[in-house]
Structure formats: structure tokens, C-alpha cells
Amino acid sequence: MINFFVYLLLCSFVFSQEKQSINALKSILQTKEVVQYFDGIFKYLGVTIEETGESFTIHHDGNTMEFNSGINEDKVEFIVPIKEQNIENMVSHAKDGRISEQESWRILSVLFTPLTKVTLKSPVLSVNWRRKIAGIEDLTHVYLLNPSGKEANKHSLVYVKGQWLVLNGIHGEPKRTYRMSPDQALEYQKKIFSAMEKDSFIGWFKFSSWYKKWRKTCSITH
């Protein structure tokens, strides 16, 4: 019986801490600088908390960010699994209303791989002949460089049987390697999300033209 009450107390404590973190995150995400930082990255972002299974949706309307419980998978563009510690870190990093380059790296480190997985599902990027026309290699290494000089966040992109695999870490011998700063990664995400939203020939043509120039600034071929 004592163990049961201890269990209830622990659950209550964890739940309370979790709610405090989420409420703090809601407050942080309403500051002008943070709203501007995420503008153009997503409109509907689904978030799941790994430890608890709780989920919510963040809607960015261009001026504010609104929280809603649960995830409508037909509506969200991306679903990002995060840990409770990620929420606490973000609250800590953005509490002054500004996001430094180091703080941007920490935020993008959480979003980096999940967002890449979704963007590569676009037919424009996953259809083989379109991929070849765009000049996108079938095995790529991507490094999100840590401004502090410490270890980068990294993943491998592998095109196999008509689909992209996004693997954490470095695998295989790449045909191209990207080494991106947080600003370069943020610019890429905003450009490709804009193309995905428009989903038109002209939109993708403009993205392709921009992409071929952009990649020269942060990648090398092998």
C-alpha cells in the first residue's frame, strides 16, 4: 500500500513538472523574436513527448503561435518527437526573447532529422527521374555544425527503391557532404517549406534554381 502511494506521488510530481514545462513553452513561443524565428518553417507542427506520450499541435499563423491538444495527422506538416528535457532546454534558451546562433543550433538539432524525413517524402524529391534532373545524389551526409566547435548533429540520406531513408549518424561512402551552419539550415527549411506549400511547377523550379546555388556554399562532392 505504501509503495502504491509513493507511485501516485511520483506520478503527480512528474505530471506537475510536465505541465509547468509546457505552460512555460507556450509563454516563450509568444515572444515576437521567437515567433519570427519559426515563421516559414511550418504552419502546423505536431509534437509528441516521448516520456509521457502526450501530444499537441502548434499552429503558426504568421503572427502568433497557438497550442491545441492532440495531433490531426491530416493537417500537420511535420510531427516531431521530443523529450521533456528538450522543452526545458528551449524554455531556458529563449527566455530572454532572443535566439543566439548556439541556441538556434540546439533548437534545430531537435527538428533537424524529423523535418528532413518529411520533406524528402515529396514526390518532387522522391521520384527518381526528378531527383536526377535536380542533381540530388543518392547518398549524402549532412552535418549541422555546432557554433561552439563541438560535435555536430549529423545524419545520412540514402535513396533506395524509390524512397529516401534518413538515418541518424554517418553511413556509407557519400557522393556529397553538407556542412551547414544553423542559419544555412534555417534558410533551407524555409525555402523548401515554401515550395511544398505552393506545390507548383514554378514554385519547385524556383526552389531548384535556388538550391543549386545554395548548396555550393555549404557542400562538397566526392
Evaluate if residue 7 carries a pLDDT over 70. no
Query: Stretch 8-19: mean pLDDT, rounded?
Result: 41
How far, CA to CA in Å, does 52 sit from each of 3, 83, 90, 116? 21, 9, 18, 25
Indicate whether 79 and 156 sit together in one domain: no
Domain range for 180: 119-221
Regarding whether 217 and 124 lie in a shared domain, the answer is yes
Mean pLDDT of 1-26: 48
Position 140 in a domain: yes
* Type of residue found at 101: E
In a domain, residue 157? The reply is: yes
85 and 175 both lie in a single domain:
no
How many domains in the chain? 2
Question: What average pLDDT does range 2-7 have in this prediction?
Answer: 41
pLDDT above 70 covers a percentage of the chain that reads 87
Please check the confidence at residue 18 and state whether its pLDDT lies above 60: no
Q: What does DSSP say about strands 65-69 and 55-60: parallel, antiparallel, or unpaired?
A: antiparallel
Do 20 and 76 lie in one domain? The reply is: yes
**Average pLDDT for residues 81-103, to the nearest whole number?**
77
> Which of 64, 99, 134 is at the close of a domain?
99
The band of 97, judged by pLDDT with boundaries at 50, 70 and 90, is low
Q: Is residue 50 part of a domain?
A: yes
pLDDT at 119: 86
* pLDDT score, position 199: 85
Q: Specify the CATH number for the domain of residue 208.
A: 3.30.1050
Residue 39 lies in a domain: yes
Starting at the edge strand that comes first in sequence, how are the strands of the sheet with 55-60 ordered? 65-69, 55-60, 44-49, 78-82
